[in-house]
């Protein structure tokens, strides 16, 4: 079927309404525009309206806080629908006007021209697992912020801990012994402690649930194989599984690297090649766990008891990939820091990019 017989639907969605722009074939202007509700009744009416069109109907909207319920209902009704990455939607530098109607029109035209990057939509089970790992990440960030607030508050009261690492049992004992004369300040201290402890308990709950899921048959093999890599433990491995699901959908390693936003931006013209900071146009959750894991490669590539145990019983091909990663990524980290005087944080990002390649290689061996 040629594009002349296809009906292209661009949709700009939010929690309450859906702005729709309908193009038939290569028409320059929308043949119809309307606003539909995002509740069950509104989506039902949208489906009925689209089914009255002759020929194939293809819909598109940007991934966002509304999730994928619209996608699933359209697909279930036999209507083609794609979800695209909003960060990769082409935008004109001169276009400073943004309205729902203009956005819906632009999506319809760009979709018809093949200029949009379609993302893989998870099923309900995968989305629930991803929500679990992302909720754990949110709690970890909340815990860090609450710890920093408590530290800064105590410092303003003249209480400075100088007897070792913070947030150890010894540090906690020191915090609990503090008593502030002003009742208001003492209330802040007590409630700040309570907030930190609450986040710690939430984190334990999420970690236990993630550990439980990691042992399930559908996840266990993938998790165990990813854990052969240094710095990749259960939470990191489950984050990779939840965010990617099937690594084989990436045909080449650079495609997976690009999806994490860890590749360098580029502004090249003629014979001049300029590379800048990483693009950050990708999955921020994957990017974070990969950078965290990359820091482990600053140490000498000697496998300790923990990593040996994780590699025990794994296929030879998987262990070989992990061992090559040990050598290559440590050399890269040390070379960037020691020879080229790069900041360790820059070296960690560069190593994370290559670590993504080794994760991709292991993911191709999943069966």
Looking at the structure, do residues 150 and 262 belong to the same domain, yes or no? Answer: no
Measured CA to CA, the distance from residue 110 to residue 81 in angstroms comes to: 14
- Residue pointed to by tokens 């790992």: 133
Residues 6 or more apart whose CB falls under 8 angstroms from that of 72 comprise: 121
Asked if residue 56 belongs to a domain, the reply is yes
Residues 6 or more apart whose CB falls under 8 angstroms from that of 252 comprise: none
Asked if residue 119 belongs to a domain, the reply is no
State residue 250's pLDDT score: 85
Domain boundary at 49, 80, 112, which? 112
Measured CA to CA, the distance from residue 57 to residue 124 in angstroms comes to: 24
Measured CA to CA, the distance from residue 192 to residue 1 in angstroms comes to: 64
Tokens of 208: 């236990």
Nearest to 247 by CA among 348, 318, 297, 327: 318
State residue 24's pLDDT score: 94
Asked if residue 117 belongs to a domain, the reply is no
Looking at the structure, do residues 139 and 105 belong to the same domain, yes or no? Answer: no
pLDDT in tens, 293-316: 999 999 999 988 999 999 999 999
Looking at the structure, do residues 97 and 141 belong to the same domain, yes or no? Answer: no
Sheet holding 17-24, edge to edge: 32-37, 17-24, 7-13, 57-62, 80-84
Domain boundary at 173, 198, 214, which? 214
From first to last of its 367 residues, what are the pLDDT tens digits of the chain?
456 789 999 999 998 999 999 999 999 999 999 999 999 999 999 999 999 998 899 999 998 878 899 999 999 999 999 998 787 777 776 666 679 999 999 999 999 999 988 888 888 899 999 999 999 999 999 999 999 999 999 999 999 999 999 999 999 999 999 999 999 999 999 999 999 999 999 999 999 999 999 999 999 999 999 999 999 999 999 999 999 988 888 889 998 998 888 876 555 555 555 555 666 777 889 999 999 999 999 999 998 899 999 999 999 999 999 999 999 999 999 999 999 999 999 999 999 999 999 999 999 986 6
Measured CA to CA, the distance from residue 163 to residue 130 in angstroms comes to: 39
Looking at the structure, do residues 255 and 349 belong to the same domain, yes or no? Answer: yes
- Residue pointed to by tokens 């052969």: 228
Looking at the structure, do residues 342 and 234 belong to the same domain, yes or no? Answer: yes
Measured CA to CA, the distance from residue 43 to residue 236 in angstroms comes to: 37
User: SS3 for 13?
Assistant: strand
Looking at the structure, do residues 209 and 290 belong to the same domain, yes or no? Answer: no
What range does the domain containing 81 cover?
Answer: 3-112
Tokens of 306: 């923990």
State residue 259's pLDDT score: 86
Looking at the structure, do residues 229 and 356 belong to the same domain, yes or no? Answer: yes
Predicted structure pTM score = 0.81
Domain boundary at 112, 135, 169, which? 112
Integer Rg of the chain from CA: 25
Looking at the structure, do residues 94 and 141 belong to the same domain, yes or no? Answer: no
State residue 2's pLDDT score: 56
Pairing of strands 17-24, 32-37: antiparallel
Looking at the structure, do residues 36 and 80 belong to the same domain, yes or no? Answer: yes
Measured CA to CA, the distance from residue 351 to residue 106 in angstroms comes to: 38
DSSP 5: G
């Amino acid at each position: 079927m040629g594009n002349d017989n296809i009906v292209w639907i661009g949709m700009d969605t939010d929690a309450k309404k859906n702005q729709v722009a309908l193009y038939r074939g290569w028409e320059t202007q929308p043949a119809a525009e309307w606003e539909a509700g995002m509740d069950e009744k509104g989506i039902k009416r949208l489906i009925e309206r689209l089914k009255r069109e002759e020929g194939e109907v293809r819909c598109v909207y940007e991934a966002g806080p509304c999730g994928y319920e619209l996608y699933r209902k359209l697909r279930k009704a036999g209507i083609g629908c794609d979800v695209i990455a909003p960060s990769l939607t082409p935008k004109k530098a001169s276009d400073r006007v943004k309205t729902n109607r203009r956005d819906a029109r632009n999506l319809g035209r760009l979709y018809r021209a093949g200029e949009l990057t379609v993302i893989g939509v998870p099923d309900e089970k995968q989305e629930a697992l991803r929500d679990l790992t992302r909720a754990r990440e949110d709690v970890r960030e909340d815990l860090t912020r609450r710890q920093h607030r408590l530290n800064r508050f105590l410092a303003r009261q003249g209480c400075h801990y100088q007897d070792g690492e913070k947030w150890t049992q010894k540090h906690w004992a020191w915090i609990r012994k503090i008593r502030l004369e002003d009742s208001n300040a003492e209330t802040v201290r007590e409630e700040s402690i309570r907030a930190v402890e609450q986040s710690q308990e939430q984190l334990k709950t999420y970690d236990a649930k993630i550990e439980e899921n990691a042992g399930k048959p559908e996840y266990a093999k993938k998790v165990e194989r990813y854990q052969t890599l240094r710095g990749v433990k259960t939470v990191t491995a489950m984050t990779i599984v939840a965010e990617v699901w099937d690594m084989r959908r990436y045909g080449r390693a650079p495609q997976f690297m690009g999806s994490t936003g860890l590749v360098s931006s580029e502004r090249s013209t003629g014979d001049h090649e300029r590379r800048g900071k990483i693009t950050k146009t990708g999955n921020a959750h994957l990017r974070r766990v990969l950078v965290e894991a990359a820091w482990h490669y600053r140490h000498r590539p000697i496998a300790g008891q923990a990593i040996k145990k994780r590699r025990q019983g794994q296929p030879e091909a998987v262990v070989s990939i992990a061992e090559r990663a040990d050598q290559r990524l440590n050399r890269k980290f040390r070379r960037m820091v020691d020879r080229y005087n790069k900041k360790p944080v820059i070296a960690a990002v560069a190593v994370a990019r290559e670590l993504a390649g080794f994760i991709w290689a292991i993911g191709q061996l999943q069966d």
